[in-house]
Amino acid sequence: MTDSHSKSFFGQNTGIIVSSSSSSDPFMFIHCFKKKPDGVWEKPSYNEGKAVKFSLEEIVLILRVLNHKTHKWQCQHIFKGKETSVFFNWEDNNHDVLWINVGKYSKRLNLAQTEILRLLLTHFLDEKIIYSTLQKKGNTDRIKKRIQKSQSQSDEFNIQLDDQKHLHEFNKAKSPQNDTSNLYGYIVGETEKAVLIDFKNKEEWIPKSAISNQYLPKKNVKQKFLINNWILKKLELII
């Protein structure tokens, strides 16, 4: 399997290059060029021409046009504060001629060129759906280490809860309102006795007996927790 692809479509005055540098990249590029008045083509090395990056979702939408499921598709690309209009459309209902407009660049593809483009983008999509979604070994190892660390912290925390009996004496019925504070966070883990909460990118294990309000047992949902101040001070979440 070849990892990179590039196909050019050049005419008398305008050309485009459709490329993908790697099957693991969830995007492709379309580079547009014009012939200058002196007859020399624009060069990327001179910061000439126009390059636009298209995501997997956008490749799907372009293919809808190429597969005759819709007559046209357009979008606006913004890069470094500059907006570029992108427009794919058939010239007429015969679907023999495709126009690709990227900013000030317009390229006309005939029936054969359009079919080559359709097959190329279909290959891109099939390839990238597989290889751009694979977990890299480094990422997998980091995820495993984080899970192991989280489990280890959970076990240590549960031991502390068992050793420190006074923690069990705190409950919702006995905690005065002025001994609690409201904090917002995201649940990222949970055990029988404690919840791992992300407070503005600081993760801490909080005993369930120290949480005085009802909360949703869902991960990655921002919500409010009414927590006893003693544990917040102990974890330096409040002063």
pLDDT (tens digit per residue) in 62-88: 999 999 999 999 999 988 788 999 999
The answer to whether residues 77 and 52 touch, using CB atoms and an 8 Å cutoff, is yes
CA distance 18 to 29: 6
Provide mean pLDDT across the span 133-144: 62
Same-domain check for residues 203 and 115:
no
Whole-structure pTM value = 0.57
Same-domain check for residues 106 and 190:
no
Provide mean pLDDT across the span 114-127: 96
**190 is in which domain, residue-wise?**
137-234
Whether residue 29 has pLDDT greater than 60? yes
Q: Which residue among 101, 131, 161 closes a domain?
A: 131
What is the side-by-side strand order in the sheet with 105-109? Answer: 72-79, 82-90, 98-102, 105-109
The answer to whether residues 58 and 75 touch, using CB atoms and an 8 Å cutoff, is yes
**Per-chain mean pLDDT for the chain:** 85
Q: Residue 239 domain-assigned?
A: no
pLDDT, one tens digit per residue, over 176-213 is 445 899 999 999 888 888 999 998 878 899 999 999 99
Whether residue 17 has pLDDT greater than 80? yes
CA atoms within 13 A on the CB side of 209: 15
Indicate the number of domains in the chain.
2
Output the domain CATH number for residue 69. Answer: 2.30.31.10
Other residues' Cβ atoms within 10 Å of the Cβ of residue 155: 11
Same-domain check for residues 122 and 12:
yes
Tell me what pLDDT residue 54 has.
Answer: 96
The answer to whether residues 149 and 189 touch, using CB atoms and an 8 Å cutoff, is no
Residue 226's nearest CA partner among 189, 188, 172 is 172
CA distances in angstroms from 148 to 83, 92, 155, listed in the order given? 45, 60, 11
pLDDT level of residue 13 (50, 70, 90 thresholds) = very high
Other residues' Cβ atoms within 10 Å of the Cβ of residue 102: 21
Tell me what pLDDT residue 166 has.
Answer: 47
